[in-house]
Structure 1
Amino acid sequence: MTIEELIGKNVIEESIKRIIEKDKTLNSVLRIEKIEGNKNGKYFGIPFLVKDNILVKGTKTTNASKILENYISPYTATAVEKLLQAGFSLVGKTNMDEFAMGNTNENSYFGPVRNPYDINRVSGGSSGGSAAAVSAGYVPFALGTDTGGSVRQPAAFCGVVGFKPSYGMISRYGVTSFASSLDQIGVLANSVKDVALVVETMKGKDDKDSTTLNHTTDLTDNLEIDLSKIKICIPKIVYDTELDASIRNSFYEAVNFLKQRGAKIEIIDIPELEYVVAVYYIIAPSEASSNLAKFDGVRYGLRSPSVGLSEMYRTTREIGLGIEVKRRIIMGTFNLSSDYYDKYYSKALKVRNVISRKLYDILNEYNAIMTPTSPSIPPRLGEKLSPLEYYLMDIFTIPANLAGLPAISIPFGFTKGLPFGIQLTGRQMKDEELLKISYTIHESTEKELPKNV
């Protein structure tokens, strides 16, 4: 059910019961954490879930890591505080890739999240728990975080809507930092309308986060738009990339579907996009190595009983952190070392600026950039792929984070019996325009595309 349909109904206990009864298979919810919202709020009685790297006072925030297995949040994230004030009620914390590093949700200390459409496949990551929980019908929406596609990619894999707003739209206060210049809270829901409502509730300037910006346009106002007045571009790299054949065919169908409804679609060359994965995997691990330095056994979480400070640091991080987190910390530390800072990190920042400026220029001419959300279908659990193969799964989602642009994944039917999602990237701080385009497309697909059997 949508949020509007649930107004005036208290379904908190029903939601908790559903999670307890059904989630043993999916492993999408780590813990039930019941916190009722403002009883006088418009949305009282409507439940939601929060990814376990977002703080809620008095609850555990583990980041799906052994090192924070028993860490209790001392305060509540601004975004969650706003939802509670509006009446929404928290019912639990969702599973994720450890410290949000991963795109299959297999990098969790508490075990992988399974895809509701095929429990032998991954849910996507790093917000895979939130995506799977919404897809399974536990709650009408859940919060995730998106650093390089961590809301949109699992949304595509699980057949739900996943939205990453413009950088600065929603406060990051209370979010465990992975890569601060890229991180954003995002929303996963079954409809674009619900996404718009939730983001409208959370958005706004926050004195506790200096990167936040004011946005005065109501995101929920008049979501219908005439597609014949919309210009969409498709980067040529989509056709040059080695896509799964079923993904390629489904994307062709999506393009034709939109053309038939009047949208103007053009293919353009954006050669700068060839560098997005390389740039991201220099900048993100570098910021992560700095942000995660505080998890050393001194103040937060797990502490090894080793003798001596250096030995305590080493053994705490050795036993407390998973392999992917260690890999990215090492990558980032290398990039920031005195010998390689200028060669890698400094150069990556310059290329990031070039990519961002190019995307801004393109979006002065087009309303949105369209790609598949992911170049592949959800891998099977335990499928042996190299780190590089995993990293390339983010090739279409990373650009929006590098440039701080809003981006959304919306379901577009099925391929090989699994959900397929298309991604639209919009103009900076013009989230309302992107949501209108996405709403109109999603409503059309809901009415006209065949359902999966």
Structure 2
Amino acid sequence: MTDLNKLTIAEARDRLRAREITAVELTDACLGAIDAADALNAYVHKTPEIARSMAAAADARLAAGDAPAMCGIPVGIKDLFCTKGVPSQAASAILEGFKPEYESTVTQNLWDAGAVMLGKLNMDEFAMGSSNETSVYGKAINPWKVDARDLTPGGSSGGSAAAVAADLCLAATGTDTGGSIRQPAAFTGTVGLKPTYGRVSRWGTIAFASSLDQAGPMTKTVRDAAIMLGAIASVDDKDSTSADRAIPDYEAAITGDIRGKKIGIPREYRMDGMSDEIDALWRQAAEMLRDAGAEIVDISLPHTKYALPAYYVIAPAEASSNLARYDGVRFGHRAKLAAGDGIDQMYARTRAEGFGSEVQRRVMIGTYVLSAGFYDAYYNRARRVRALIKRDFDQAYASGIDAILTPATPSAAFGLGEMAGKDPVEMYLNDVFTVTVNLAGLPGISVPVGTDAQGLPLGMQLIGRPWEEGALLNLAQTLENAAGFVSKPDRWW
């Protein structure tokens, strides 16, 4: 039973309930795979004792016959989620040694459902990055390989994507501020779902940009994403942005019938620099949905070209406020002071030592755009652009569009280190197709649909109506079935 780690959530759930396997056996298979995959640097804090204890409890619950779908399912947790008594560093030196005395709502929901924690997963520092190269733990590595190069698993949820793609867990949590679930999923041939803003609680998730951050599942299949979303979504009084809406049965929404659905193809997403392979795959994906009974409609989202600059004003502005709390006073790293140094020197030295270069860059940008004389010129203008971007989507959906189909990324996974020394804007361009979804607060999902000439996975993105994740998952399942993507990375690690 050493290949149990290769099961999907749905397969494992059914076998666990049939008592064909135990949660302990399933967990041990994952733990063995994790120990054999240190070369990927996906897991940064392993928790085998906790995992086995939780698995034993899950088996008892399963034996009692009253177990939710996630009971006994081993998962990895992005290091951005606070987990009680377990290091939760946001991949930053400034939070070295921080072990929360509380549990994030997302992880608590998983543990209440009987899921098993395998460990904490690598990520970009404070979720700021698109390649998992800003982590204090070092780079996470994509399990897909086409030559001697190490490839990025994407970011910021790179460790989560790598772990799911390499079968080091059955699923993982991710967070998405500008594409940090969907872009890594596209780079690794996995499924990544960013729910509607407010559908999943942000409480206990270390903040990057509070009006944009949203947690979601990273899984092997669309059905698994539906199952896991049902477990982590909740109404939470501890999060003022949590929406007071009932949580539907997302798996039941996957009927396979999309006849009559209108799928929008936004002309503004055909951008300069997009590869011919992705453009061709985009057209093929549209035909797949058409063949399944959907109507394909050309639409316009005219303010798309302003999304990236607006995002890179709003997100750093919110980050500069959120990260002000890391000053060396209450928790985490504190710089050693020389004789005569005061509190100001302690603040400055702690933050200089604790924050990496990308975080420092974004904090400085954010502080600048919020400063007197520039607030209106940059931040308020970006907020107005954000409102226009949201209006574009509102008008498209008001016209009868049910979902929007776009590429998830402008390219396949690139080599680690290839962006080093270049203009940071080149890295930011990886988010060109995804940031609009966060600015508008909409649900979006990346589904693997094909491969490029090198054999690397490529993903397509479906953007849904707000609060209609069930309908979005149904469309995604149809696309997944039509594409028939079953490729897995060759095991080299």
Answer yes or no: is the 8 Å Cα contact 2:301–2:389 preserved in 1.
no
Answer yes or no: is the 8 Å Cα contact 2:316–2:363 preserved in 1.
yes
- Among 357, 360, 366, which residue is 1:326 paired with? 360
The range that moved more, 185-194 or 209-218, is 209-218
The range that moved more, 389-398 or 284-293, is 389-398
What is the letter of the counterpart of residue 468 of structure 2? K
The range that moved more, 349-358 or 325-334, is 349-358
Deviation at 1:451, TM superposition (A): 8.1
Aligned to 1:20: 35
| Residue 397 of structure 1 pairs with residue 397 of structure 2 | no
Aligned to 1:65: 92
Change over 3 Å in CA distance of 1:363–1:67 after alignment to 2? same
Deviation at 1:350, TM superposition (A): 1.4
Deviation at 1:261, TM superposition (A): 3.0
How many equivalent pairs are there? Answer: 451
Distance 2:258 2:467 in 1: 20
What is the letter of the counterpart of residue 101 of structure 2? P
- Among 367, 370, 381, which residue is 1:336 paired with? 370
Deviation at 1:176, TM superposition (A): 0.3
Aligned to 1:5: 11
Aligned to 1:174: 204
What is the letter of the counterpart of residue 360 of structure 2? K
**1:48-82 C-alpha deviation (Å, 9 max, x unpaired):** 01100100100000111111121111210111111
Distance 1:117 1:217 in 2: 35
- Among 461, 467, 472, which residue is 1:434 paired with? 472
Deviation at 1:450, TM superposition (A): 8.0
The range that moved more, 175-184 or 355-364, is 355-364
Query: SS where residue 208 of structure 2 aligns?
Result: coil
Distance 1:2 1:173 in 2: 28
Change over 3 Å in CA distance of 1:122–1:267 after alignment to 2? same
What is the letter of the counterpart of residue 305 of structure 1? K
Distance 2:76 2:172 in 1: 5
Answer yes or no: is the 8 Å Cα contact 1:178–1:284 preserved in 2.
yes
Distance 2:73 2:234 in 1: 22
1:107-146 mapped onto 2 (5 Å cutoff): 107-118=134-145, 120-146=150-176
Deviation at 1:209, TM superposition (A): 0.7
The range that moved more, 281-290 or 303-312, is 303-312
Gaps of 5+ in 2: 1-6, 17-21, 62-66
Deviation at 1:452, TM superposition (A): 8.2
Deviation at 1:252, TM superposition (A): 2.6
What is the letter of the counterpart of residue 316 of structure 2? P
- Among 298, 308, 312, which residue is 1:267 paired with? 298
Gaps of 5+ in 1: none
Answer yes or no: is the 8 Å Cα contact 1:203–1:215 preserved in 2.
no
What is the letter of the counterpart of residue 201 of structure 1? A
Distance 1:240 1:270 in 2: 13
Distance 2:220 2:373 in 1: 48
1:46-445 mapped onto 2 (5 Å cutoff): 46-118=73-145, 120-213=150-243, 214-306=245-337, 307-364=341-398, 365-384=400-419, 385-415=422-452, 416-445=454-483
Deviation at 1:313, TM superposition (A): 1.0
Distance 2:312 2:203 in 1: 24
Distance 2:364 2:489 in 1: 43
Query: SS where residue 423 of structure 1 aligns?
Result: strand
Distance 1:57 1:46 in 2: 19
Answer yes or no: is the 8 Å Cα contact 1:413–1:452 preserved in 2.
no
| Residue 32 of structure 1 pairs with residue 40 of structure 2 | no
Deviation at 1:267, TM superposition (A): 2.1
What is the letter of the counterpart of residue 92 of structure 1? G
Distance 2:121 2:461 in 1: 24
Query: SS where residue 366 of structure 2 aligns?
Result: helix
Query: SS where residue 25 of structure 1 aligns?
Result: helix
**1:338-387 C-alpha deviation (Å, 9 max, x unpaired):** 11011111111111111112211212221111111001121111003421
TM-score by length of 2: 0.88
Answer yes or no: is the 8 Å Cα contact 1:215–1:429 preserved in 2.
no
Answer yes or no: is the 8 Å Cα contact 2:289–2:478 preserved in 1.
no
TM-score by length of 1: 0.96
What is the letter of the counterpart of residue 395 of structure 2? D
Distance 1:226 1:196 in 2: 16
Change over 3 Å in CA distance of 1:400–1:95 after alignment to 2? same
**1:360-415 C-alpha deviation (Å, 9 max, x unpaired):** 12122211111110011211110034211111111110111011100000000211
Q: Percent of counterpart pairs with the same letter?
A: 41
Change over 3 Å in CA distance of 1:239–1:259 after alignment to 2? same
Distance 2:214 2:46 in 1: 24
